Structure 1
């Protein structure tokens, strides 16, 4: 029999960074907060881990850079974290001639910048790059501060940007037009385009504008668009959030698997140490993907109906078992889904599940972590490896290659060459390695492969796909190196290469991200579209579901996605505002 666990104002489902952010804000405001995390540790995707046996290196295993985390959240909560700005924005070897490449240096003057573009035959694009950067910087400056305020309307956001050309280019027209009308070179176009494709399986000219939304979030972070390195790794960011939440009085429980959420009763059913328990609260915050919450709500509706049926059967004068009479609640239809649109109440479970599959989020990436005994040598002898790898290292990401990769994956095949982006944490922050490894010159590399949709898992099987993708990542990297990267991959205590590959299914199993979608679902514009209700605090902060007592506080909220804490902040603000209404 479930054991009651009462006396909380808020129960938070999920202990990722957004759940921890909400817990910290609410506990600091004096609310009684219980956070339930199914894993044996907190942090969700923003964690550090010793990925290789016997090797003292703590990698940011899943999420790895910070852009959207507002300084406001850091200051409000008193987080003791350090973010390092990278001097070099990116380096892109030219797949047409890997002995040359484009190095974007944030500190370069106009002449040096022009010379960098001239190296790849893209002299005409140097000025266009500067103008384009100025335009996206304006978007960042105007829009980023709104992410921690109640939702502006679309028209309010447009007036705030105050640049009709930028608004039309990035919000109203497919991203391909904004890129292709400004840049002539295939490589330059590709470098810009990747910000619209990371974790998003789409084409640049798709009128659905998925690439535009992805692009917008990638270029407005921090009000500058910069992506910074968290000193100590991602685990230090979530470790600080957990510290503040605990010290403020929040109860953070790991190993607690949430089984159901009763939207009407504010009850969360969970299993801890093999015992089913129930926590009750005025408000439930869901730091899980919306479609996961949908399933928990279904289970909660069933649990509530069963409890009502038992109560009705035990009441004096109740109908005998097997009779046609009984309380209406005993046969009540399952709740109306907040996330699968236009699903009639009472549909058979098999039909509901099919509709859910059709709307299931789909990730589109592979993540590979490597530990190297030194940085590899480049085929481009004019660029120092430390400069090339200290920013984002683009491989096989011509715009034409990105388009080909999409078409290949769309027909169910693994792209080859695989478009990839590489990041080296240790060039900005060696603290994640033991001192002896730093002295020996070891480095981490994180590879993010694009256009690998979750549907490939079903076609090929996860083990086969993981092996294929790892091979494609290494081949893509080797295509621009002067030596095989395999020759400098470190080995663990058992002599195995220090390389781990995470498919979309691996992310789903490890993190509860359906389809391995790193954003928990389709990204939304960071404003309220026309006709959106903005009556309640939850609606105004972009965290509402159809259930007043259940709010989103994760990446699935409006303005969610990436390591930002924005979903958690905004859910907390909605709860606090509701308390004063």
Structure 2
């Protein structure tokens, strides 16, 4: 049963008195990111005593909101920024005061056709989207193919998404549950490039479809490993609809709500406490941690690790899994105004309201991947831009909102960590310059003319490479998923919930768990369920 007297723990932990100067907790959670907080909230609300050890001076991990620009009242979702995979079940179960807003436009992709600036705007209703396809391609063939393809993924989403918070189905069981052999073949058995090329003829449309298979994943459309398929699957099943929504108040609103719920239920959240080692005999465990004042040890019946599989192996002394590698450029910006577009037929407030695709034609994506695989920066770096403040202006201070300021988040593709190893700072600068040049090619004014400045007169723009994310957040190789995404069904050794490890009482509750990745809370939920279904402590 839970011991309600947690007040002594911070005192013991900040003034260690040796390995026996600790108490036993039902669960110690290593890492205070959103999955760790989900697990902490479930376990504490179930009456278990819970301690969260967080290395940084704040909880939230990659799902935080910050004011990155000096003296500027703009609260950006600094690393992760959109919500799709978070089940409403978790929000309801934990009574979270958290909301999302749907973006009014799905995407806009600028293009040059026959010497004129145009583009593909997806959103604003069926008729308007059909007209956009017809204007771009000369017929409604691509639109009909689009409707059929995403009708299929929608059916998959409705079937597969609810299974993410249930015990892992076998591959055959999931196939039977899906009950759609064409969808199974397209998504689970053959490279997604086959389906894209069979169903769509226009290079730009093909590229827009493919991008969901490449976010944070370095792969070709025809990669035989199908890691691009797994990435695509998680990008189209969220919420049972595939919608990607904007968190009201920024991503930090979610982790703040989770932290508050966990604390209210009795969990202790100890920031500035870095876990160093986990020793376990399968029934009880000891976690050694470090603070500014020295080392200490705390005992636990279960340890849940909200960190990468590599970090888990380091903590337990086990053989680490193969190294992971991230492949993205993350850029945050604040603008005085949205830039005007060369395509004058679309309002910038609509073009930037959804996902703004840059250099993401099908052949452009293939060329960028080939160049990066050869060790070179892509000549035309592909990227996507999101303007969250159009959907949720609350992230801007009242004065900024009144003056028309807007945030922009750019996510660059096909830039693996290996490209930055020679000189991270210099390569980051070169890549940022060439990426923004690709955007400028579709603007009627340079983006630099629209950038706001901070209190010191510097442009409000910051960029993060995979190596920066490894340093700042402990992501192995900067991989935002901790490792390659997994299929949402059981595989050899995955266990009942997909969170099990080689130690009976040590669970992986981070993005590297089966069905992990993205801001979902699913691994945290599933790790808590694995603990709770063992019965009372």
User: What is the TM-score of this pair, normalised by structure 1?
Assistant: 0.87
287, 291, 301: which is aligned to 2:306?
A: 287
Q: State how far apart, in whole Å, the 1-side matches of 2:536 and 2:220 are.
A: 45
Q: State how far apart, in whole Å, the 2-side matches of 1:263 and 1:363 are.
A: 31
The answer as to whether partners of 2:24 and 2:301 remain within 8 angstroms in 1 is no
Q: State how far apart, in whole Å, the 2-side matches of 1:541 and 1:487 are.
A: 51
Q: Residue 399 of structure 1 corresponds to which residue in structure 2?
A: 362
What are the ranges of 5 or more consecutive residues in structure 1 without an aligned counterpart?
299-334, 341-358
207, 229, 232: which is aligned to 1:215?
A: 232
Q: Residue 497 of structure 1 corresponds to which residue in structure 2?
A: 459
CA shift for structure 1 position 273 = 2.5
Q: State how far apart, in whole Å, the 2-side matches of 1:428 and 1:85 are.
A: 8
The answer as to whether partners of 1:266 and 1:280 remain within 8 angstroms in 2 is yes
Is the aligned partner of 1:523 residue 2:512? Answer: no
State the Cα deviation string for residues 275-314 of structure 1 (Å, max 9, x = none): 101011011000000011111111xxxxxxxxxxxxxxxx
Is the aligned partner of 1:102 residue 2:64? Answer: no
Q: State how far apart, in whole Å, the 2-side matches of 1:113 and 1:481 are.
A: 22
Is the aligned partner of 1:421 residue 2:377? Answer: no
Q: State how far apart, in whole Å, the 2-side matches of 1:569 and 1:390 are.
A: 32
CA shift for structure 1 position 121 = 1.6
341, 353, 362: which is aligned to 1:378?
A: 341
CA shift for structure 1 position 240 = 0.2
Q: Residue 45 of structure 2 corresponds to which residue in structure 1?
A: 28
CA shift for structure 1 position 579 = 2.5
The answer as to whether partners of 2:499 and 2:507 remain within 8 angstroms in 1 is yes
Is the aligned partner of 1:246 residue 2:263? Answer: yes
User: What is the TM-score of this pair, normalised by structure 2?
Assistant: 0.94
When the two chains are superposed, the root-mean-square deviation of aligned CA atoms in Å is: 1.3
Q: Residue 452 of structure 1 corresponds to which residue in structure 2?
A: 415
Q: State how far apart, in whole Å, the 2-side matches of 1:33 and 1:122 are.
A: 61
Q: Residue 9 of structure 2 corresponds to which residue in structure 1?
A: none
Q: Residue 305 of structure 1 corresponds to which residue in structure 2?
A: none
Q: State how far apart, in whole Å, the 1-side matches of 2:536 and 2:297 are.
A: 27
469, 485, 490: which is aligned to 1:507?
A: 469
CA shift for structure 1 position 2 = 3.5
Q: Residue 153 of structure 2 corresponds to which residue in structure 1?
A: 136
The answer as to whether partners of 1:232 and 1:429 remain within 8 angstroms in 2 is yes
Higher mean displacement: 75-84 or 255-264: 255-264
CA shift for structure 1 position 7 = 2.2
267, 274, 281: which is aligned to 2:286?
A: 267
The answer as to whether partners of 1:2 and 1:275 remain within 8 angstroms in 2 is no
The answer as to whether partners of 1:98 and 1:480 remain within 8 angstroms in 2 is no
Q: Residue 64 of structure 2 corresponds to which residue in structure 1?
A: 47
CA shift for structure 1 position 98 = 6.6
CA shift for structure 1 position 469 = 1.8
Question: What secondary structure is seen at the aligned counterpart in 2 of 1:418?
Answer: coil
Q: Residue 545 of structure 1 corresponds to which residue in structure 2?
A: 501
State the Cα deviation string for residues 47-69 of structure 1 (Å, max 9, x = none): 00010000011100000000000
The answer as to whether partners of 1:88 and 1:391 remain within 8 angstroms in 2 is yes
The answer as to whether partners of 1:122 and 1:184 remain within 8 angstroms in 2 is no
Q: How many residues align?
A: 516
328, 333, 342: which is aligned to 1:365?
A: 328
What are the ranges of 5 or more consecutive residues in structure 2 without an aligned counterpart?
1-16
CA shift for structure 1 position 274 = 2.5
Q: State how far apart, in whole Å, the 2-side matches of 1:152 and 1:65 are.
A: 27
